[in-house]
Structure 1
Amino acid sequence: MKKGDRTREHIIMKSAAIFNQKGYAGTSLNDIIADTGIKKGGIYRHFVSKDEIAIEAYNYAASLVSSKFNEAVDQEQSASGRLIAFFRVYGDVVHNPPFIGGCPMQNTAVESDDTHSELRDRARQGLHNFLDLMKSIIDDGIKAGEFKEDLDSEALASFAFSLLEGGILLSKLDGDNKHMQMNTAIFSSYLQQCCLKSN
């Protein structure tokens, strides 16, 4: 990798953590300069604006979290186990989140809802990607005979993701992983009682 590419990557990685903790509005160019150790001219040699840095930073953070979800899912054989794996990634969101500052999609969606259309669109695309992945897992479970044939995979994916993101939000706000743990237990019980095909 060329030096210029390494510098650009360094800026993106450092900025991703800042944006995910402080948000777009709360992050200044001076924050990025301080954290990267690169002067203003050096930053603008690689990016035309703060917007471009923010978008690249979001893409980086989201892809890193997505890879952790994929790793967790790939370790499971059953469809129900693969769905629960999403929750395990954020099992210790208070002390050890998969990316510093919590869920990049959630943080970006909340802040940019009425303020930054491009970041909101990135967060929305992330939402659809995760829902599509969950729906695919559920559909596979139906085909394999693990889940009931009449299960609404879209509704279950939405329910699962709502519990996941709600658990992240409440646990971070309260500084207590119990919300994530309760939501995981509730979803696991729901799968057992309402979704699994009885043998």
Structure 2
Amino acid sequence: MSKAEKTKQHIIEKTATLFNTKGYISTSLSDITQATGLTKGSIYGNFENKDEVAIEVYKYNAGLLGKTLSRSFGDEYITSLDKLHAFVEFYRKNWKFVFANGGCPLMNAATEADDSFPALKTQVKRSFEQWLTKISDVIDEGQRKGEIDKKASAEQYASLFIMLIEGGILLSKTMGDQSFLNHALDKVASIIDHELTILPS
């Protein structure tokens, strides 16, 4: 990496939790300089404006989450059902880390971007599309292998899982009570076992 690339990466990594906790719109340039220990001139020497920093930080935060979630769908899990359950267990095991870093970066960015920050909204939409595709692909794989009911709509179940988990995170973070997320995860696990799994006749 060049010196400029290292500086950009330093800025992104040092402000990742800051943006996700305080908000992509609310975080000020002064917040960024304080978190990075750099001057405003150095920030603007590497990014066109604060919005560009916010976009790159969002990509970084979403990328970290995506890489971690992808491990749930790794080859070490034999069946598609195992992969879906590993996806659920990721949130059971990592909710403290997710909450400590401000919550889910996709949900946080989605709630504040909307029409006030269209460039960020576009990035968030792309992230959710990738997430939907990843879960749908696992369900499709299970249907091809005869592990998952072929009548199930992969796209509908993928979106349902995301809605339940994101809603659970939102309520648990807001109420300071993990039970809301646990209830959502229990429901997803139950759907996997009772609606997707092909039971022996």
- TM-superposed CA distance for 1:79, in Å, is 1.5
**C-alpha spacing 1:108/1:155, structure 2 compared with 1 (3 Å):** same
Alpha-carbon RMSD: 1.6
What is the number of equivalent residue pairs in this alignment? 199
1:156 matched to which residue of 2? 157
Q: Distance in 2 between matches of 1:76 and 1:175?
A: 33
Residue matched to 2:167: 166
Normalised to the residue count of structure 1, the TM-score between the two structures is: 0.94
The answer on whether the counterparts of 1:93 and 1:168 sit within 8 Å (CA) in structure 2 is no
- Residues 79-132 of structure 1 show CA distances to partners (whole Å, capped at 9, x for unaligned) of 122123233332256532187111111000000112111101100111100000
In structure 1, how many angstroms separate the alpha carbons of the residues matched to 2:82 and 2:131?
16
Identity value in percent:
35
Structure 2: distance between partners of 1:98 and 1:140 = 32
> Could you list the runs of 5+ residues in structure 2 that have no partner in the other structure?
none
d(CA) in 2 for partners of 1:81 and 1:174?
31
3-state SS, counterpart of residue 26 of structure 1: coil
- SS at 1:66's partner residue? helix
Do the aligned residues in 2 keep the contact of 1:16 with 1:61 (CA within 8 Å)? yes
Residue of structure 2 in register with 1:22 after alignment: 22
CA contact (8 A) 2:99 2:173 kept: no
Q: Alpha-carbon deviation of 1:140?
A: 0.3
1:59 is matched with 59
Equivalent pair of 2:135/2:158 in contact (CA under 8 Å): yes
| Alpha-carbon distance in structure 2 between the residues aligned to 1:90 and 1:163 | 12
> Please, what TM-score do these two structures have when normalized by structure 2?
0.93
Separation in 2 of the partners of 1:22 and 1:78?
A: 40
Matches within 5 A, 1:1-199: 1-74=1-74, 75-91=76-92, 95-97=96-98, 100-199=101-200
More divergent stretch after superposition (30-39 vs 83-92): 83-92
Distance (Å, rounded) in 2 between the aligned partners of 1:196 and 1:87 = 15
Q: Distance in 2 between matches of 1:145 and 1:99?
A: 40
